[in-house]
Structure formats: C-alpha cells, structure tokens
Amino acid sequence: MADDKKLPTRAADFSAWYNEVVLRSELADYSPVRGCMVIRPRGYGIWERMQRQLDTMFKDTGHENAYFPLFIPESFLKKEAQHVEGFAPELAVVTHGGGKKLEEPLVVRPTSETIIYAMYAKWVQSYRDLPILINQWANVVRWEMRTRLFLRTTEFLWQEGHTAHATPEEAEEETRKMLGVYRDFMESYMAMPVVTGMKSDAEKFAGAVRTYAVEAMMQDNKGLQAGTSHNLGQNFSKAFDFTFQTEAGGTEYAWNTSWGVSTRMIGGLVMTHGDDKGIQVPPLLAPIEVVIVPIYKADDERARMLEAAEKVRAELHAWERRAPGKLRVHVDKREGIKPGAKYYEWELRGIPIRMELGPRDIEKNQAVLVRRDTGVKTTVSLETIGEDVADLLHAIQDSMLTAARDRRESNSYRGEITYERFREIIEGPGGFVYAGWCGGAACEAAIKEETKATIRVLPDEEFRSAEPMKNCLKCGANAVFEALWAKAY
Ligand SMILES: [Zn+2]
C-alpha cells in the first residue's frame, strides 16, 4: 500500500479521487519525464486485454497490422495545411542525431497520416491494389501543457487505423464501420455506454472531411471522447500525390480514413466504474477475475487452507468455460496480512469477485463469493464452483453496463430548454444536454466561451430525442441539428 490515508471521495473532489485511485490501485505512476506516465503491470494488464480484443475485432473486419517509423520528416507534416496547423503546437522535434545537426529535423509522430499515406502512394498503382486496410499499434507524442494520468499524457499508447479506398462511398462506409466497432467494444467489454455521432467543423480532426466520435459520460457528468473515426476524403492523398488508375482507365486520388483509440480508455474505465473504495474493472478486461482469500486463525491451519485454496484455483482454472478463455484466478497467499486488509486492497484494485475460503467452508464443501460491484455475498457449493463463478462474472459485466447507462440517462436533458437553464445545468451538476443548434460557428463559439461546454457530437439518429428542440439554444433561429453539449475532458 502506498498510503494508509483514506481515499478522497468522488463527491468531495472528483479530480483528486481520480488521481489517487489511479496511483493507489497501481495502474500508473508519474515518471521522471514531466507529462509522461509509467503504466504499471495492473494498468498494462488491462491495456493488453483491450488490445487483444480490439485486435481481434479489427482482423474480423479485414484489417492487418503493420508498423511505421516513430520519426517523420518535418516537411511531411507541412504538406497538409490544416493538419500542420492543428498539430504544430504539440510537436516534439529532433534536431540532432549521432552528435550532428540533422539536415532535416524529424518530428516524433503525433499521429501517422503523413508518413503512412506517403508509403501508400508508393505501393498503389491501380484500383486493383485497393482497398488498403492497415492498423498500427504504436506510441505517439503530443507535447501537452496540462497532463492527467491516462487522460492526457505527452506520450501515450494507441492504435491508428489507416485505410485507402477507390470510392468516397467505401471510405465513408469504413469510417462508420470502425466507429461501430469502437462502440461495440466499449459497451460489450468496457461496460461503458457511448453516444455516437459526428463532430462539428470546429471540433473535427485537423485534416479530416468528417470526424465521428464515441462519447461517454464520466461520473462527474463530464464527457470523455473515447475514440474517433475520420473520413479524410482526398485531403492527404492530394498532399502526398497518392493516385491510382481507375477501372475506367483514368487517374484518381485515393479516399482515406483513419481511426484510433488509446490508453485514455483506461481513464474512462476508472471514471465510469470506480467508487469510493477504488476502481472497478469489468470482468472481460480484468487481468484477475477472481481473487481467493484463504482464512485461517492458527498457523497450523495455514498450510491446510492454502492447499485448499490452491485446489479451488486449479479447479476453476481447469473448468472449461466457452468464452473468453480460462478463468483468471489469483490466490492471495501473503503472510502476516489480515483477511480484512486483503479485502480492502482487492476492492481498491477492482477485482470483480472475491472468494472467501475458511476452515468451516471447507468442511461444508462451500465458498463465499463477494461481488465487487454490489458487495452482495453468496455462498456456493464447491461442486459447481466453475459454473457459478462464470455466471456471476457474466452478471457483473451486464449490471456494470446497466448501471452506467442508467446513470448517464438520469443526467441527460432533452427537449425544450432555455439558455439560462442550460447554463445552470452546465455550471452546476453538469450532464449531457441535447439542444437545438442553428449550425452557426458563432453560436457554438459563444456557448463555449460563456460556459466551457462544447458540442460533443451531433448524435446519430438512434440517440436523438423523440421531440428535439426546435430552435437554436443560443440565437433562437431554426435548429438545423440536435447537438449534444457537455463539458469534457
Ligand atoms: Zn444559433
């Protein structure tokens, strides 16, 4: 334990709670390099499971992995005007190498569009070479002034998909498809419900024609952009002279998409499910799903109880569950720590199920299972332990998603609303406000200036209100869009 002081509560100081819970649950630590973080094994284990699942989903949708260099010639970044303008303030630039000043400075990639499309331009001659569907798992660097563990760090881990297509329709379909993959992953695996939709022009990616995003609500009622998918049109192919011969024999610039999610998702997971006892990891992403805490009083009981716990662990491990693989079980054998102190630690670390196993349980051929999410205890027979544990994990995964969705809905506001009331909500409890927008950049900028709320997305149809507001929240003109407003990370 880093510290025996009580964790700050979410209600008292959400931001302090977040920092403390990330440090104390040993997900990550501050590093000697300002703005960079060290992802510790408990955090990296979650990232590995995220990565594994997403990678499977990318492959199932026809993508392959490749790897491009960390360094990008500075001139590449300058080829796409919006792109360089968007990223210039955040760039880390290498000017020296091997003891000499470089002829051309190298940028440490903030994202890889430029170098990847330069390579695609070399590889593609004809429409027969398309589509290219490539993903890269990598680290990127953006020189951030204000950093938060996982949410905004100077270096972070992510994946970036980069595709090239022969038609704009195909590119749009790909952009939407990958947004759907992200949504599916976040809801099914992270138990984090998201609203999907399009970004306004002011909020879109530098260099994109259209940006789509998945937006989640954190427990302080602020929004978190958890992933983005961009339709790049021909912006980059024109900048990098990425052309192909069409079926009809002409020449055309390729249509591109890019899409990414990062270690920021771990921050989202913490702020969606954590409570005043610690983090909560959804079973499907938990490196440890079940922790067995053997209970004994006298020392002569210890060996017998550890043996019993090990037997249960082996049984759980051998139990054939259909998906996703073996049960991940850990026995807490540490000496000199009372069971109560162990419970406290495993709660802090968010392990979905704790199994308490004492001498009397062994006599009765039973064990006690305690849910991390609800604290509910059930006594189960050791005869059916595999099935009972698997069922309970399934139930926990489901109820974590339901709880998060209920919380989001009870902090969402729809229908007619005055600007005054809107400000009260945004400046008070916060939340997602669905309100009319004329589509004007001036209204969007004024609302941002006055309230710090931004348009998170123009929600996709299924998230729009049955009776949307008819007028623009700010100017009162006819609403062209229903926009989802919130303060955001
Ligand atoms: Zn307006």
Task: Specify if 283 maps to a domain.
Answer: no
- Mean residue pLDDT of the chain comes to 95
pLDDT at 2: 45
In this prediction, residue 4 carries a pLDDT of: 60
In 3D space, the residue among 239, 233, 173, 225 whose CA is nearest the CA of residue 208 turns out to be 233
What spacing in Å lies between the alpha carbon of 435 and ligand 1's midpoint? 11
Say if residue 83 is in the same domain as residue 195. Answer: yes
**Structure token digits, residue 313:** 């662990």
Domain boundary among 273, 301, 329: 273
Distance 447 CA to ligand 1 centre (A): 10
CA distance 290 to 488: 34
CA of 416 to the centre of ligand 1 (A): 15
Distance from C-alpha of 94 to C-alpha of 398, rounded to nearest angstrom: 47
Looking at 230, 245, 273, which one is the last position of a domain?
273
| Ligand 1 centre distance from Cα of residue 446 (Å) | 9
Secondary structure class of 207 (helix, strand, coil): coil
Instruction: Classify residue 149 by its DSSP letter.
Output: T
Ligand 1 centroid – CA 478 distance (Å): 8
Same domain, 94 and 184: yes
Omega into 131 within 30° of 0, i.e. cis? yes
Domain that holds residue 75: 14-273
Q: How far is the CA of 414 from the centre of ligand 1 (A)?
A: 17
Choosing from 362, 394, 426, the residue where a domain stops is 394
Type of residue found at 102 = L
Please check whether residue 347 is in contact with residue 278, taking contact to mean a CB–CB distance below 8 angstroms: yes
Q: Residue 175 C-alpha to ligand 1 middle, in angstroms?
A: 28
Residues 336 and 419 in one domain: no
Same domain flag for 33 and 147: yes
Q: Is residue 405 part of a domain?
A: no
What is the CA(201)–ligand 1 centre distance, in A?
15
342 found inside a domain: yes
Scored b (16 or more CB within 10 A) or e, 19-29 reads: ebbbbbbbbbe
Distance, CA 306 to ligand 1 centroid (Å)? 67
Decide if 37 is inside a domain: yes
Expressed in angstroms and rounded, the spacing between residue 428 Cα and the centre of ligand 1 is 23
Ligand 1 centroid to Cα of residue 466, in Å, is 21
d(CA 371, CA 377): 7
Which amino acid, one-letter code, is at 378? T
| Model pTM score | 0.96
Nearest Cα to Cα of residue 125 among 167, 156, 166, 157: 166
User: What is residue 156's predicted lDDT score, i.e. its pLDDT?
Assistant: 97
* 205, 321: one domain: no
In angstroms, what is the span from residue 484 Cα to ligand 1's centroid?
A: 14
Q: What is the pLDDT of residues 410-464, one digit of tens each?
A: 999 999 999 999 999 999 999 999 999 999 999 999 999 999 999 999 999 999 9
Maximum Cα–Cα distance across the chain = 85
Ligand 1 centroid to Cα of residue 299, in Å, is 73
Q: Is 109 helix (H, G, I), strand (E, B) or coil?
A: coil
Q: Across 12-26, 81-95, 306-320, which has the greatest mean pLDDT? A: 12-26
**What CATH number is attached to the domain comprising 418?**
3.30.110.30
Centroid of ligand 1 to alpha carbon of 97 (angstroms): 52
> Is 401 a domain residue?
no
User: Are both 378 and 420 inside the same structural domain?
Assistant: no
Ligand 1 centre distance from Cα of residue 472 (Å)? 5
- Ligand 1 centroid from CA 360, angstroms: 69
Same domain (yes/no): 64, 179: yes
Q: Is residue 119 part of a domain?
A: yes
Identify whether the C-beta of residue 426 lies closer than 8 Å to the C-beta of residue 453.
Answer: yes
User: Please, are residues 423 and 181 in contact by the beta-carbon 8 Å criterion?
Assistant: no
**Residues 321 and 186 grouped into a single domain:** no
Least confident residue range of 125-139, 156-170, 313-327:
313-327
CATH of the domain at 174: 3.30.930.10
CA of 196 to the centre of ligand 1 (A): 23
Q: Is 248 exposed, middle or buried (0-12, 13-18, 19+ CB in 10 A)?
A: exposed
pLDDT given for residue 489 in this prediction: 95
How far, in Å, is the centroid of ligand 1 from the Cα of 214? 24
Q: What is the pLDDT of residues 49-74, one digit of tens each?
A: 999 999 999 999 999 999 999 999 99
Q: Which residues keep their CB under 5 angstroms from ion ligand 1?
A: 438, 440, 443, 472, 474-475
Instruction: DSSP for 373-434, please give it.
Output: TT--EEEEEGGGHHHHHHHHHHHHHHHHHHHHHHHHHHTEE-S---HHHHHHHHHTT--EEE
Say how many Å lie between the CA of residue 474 and the centre of ligand 1.
5
| Counted domains in the chain | 3
CA of 431 to the centre of ligand 1 (A): 21
Separation of CA 358 and ligand 1 centre (Å): 66
Distance 228 CA to ligand 1 centre (A): 26
3-state secondary structure of 300: helix
Q: Is 2 within the bounds of a domain? A: no
Tell me, yes or no, whether 134 and 261 share the same domain: yes
Lowest mean pLDDT among 24-28, 170-174, 324-328, 374-378: 324-328
Rounded to a whole number, what is the distance in angstroms from the first to the last CA of the chain? 29
- On whether both 29 and 144 belong to a single domain, the answer is yes
What is the model's pLDDT at position 1?
Answer: 44
Regarding whether 233 and 360 lie in a shared domain, the answer is no
How close is the Cα of 11 to the center of ligand 1, in Å?
35
C-alpha 454 to ligand 1 mean position (Å)? 14
483 Cα–ligand 1 center, Å: 11
Query: Does one domain contain both 297 and 170?
Result: no
Alpha helices in 13-112, H assignment, sequence order: 14-24, 41-60, 74-77, 81-87
The CA 217 to ligand 1 mean position distance, Å, reads 25
* 394-411 average pLDDT score: 98
Q: What's the rounded Cα separation, in Å, for the pair 67 and 112?
A: 10
**95 assigned to some structural domain:** yes
What's the CATH number where 365 sits?
3.40.50.800
User: Is the pLDDT at 199 greater than 80, yes or no?
Assistant: yes
Token pair listed for 405: 């969705």
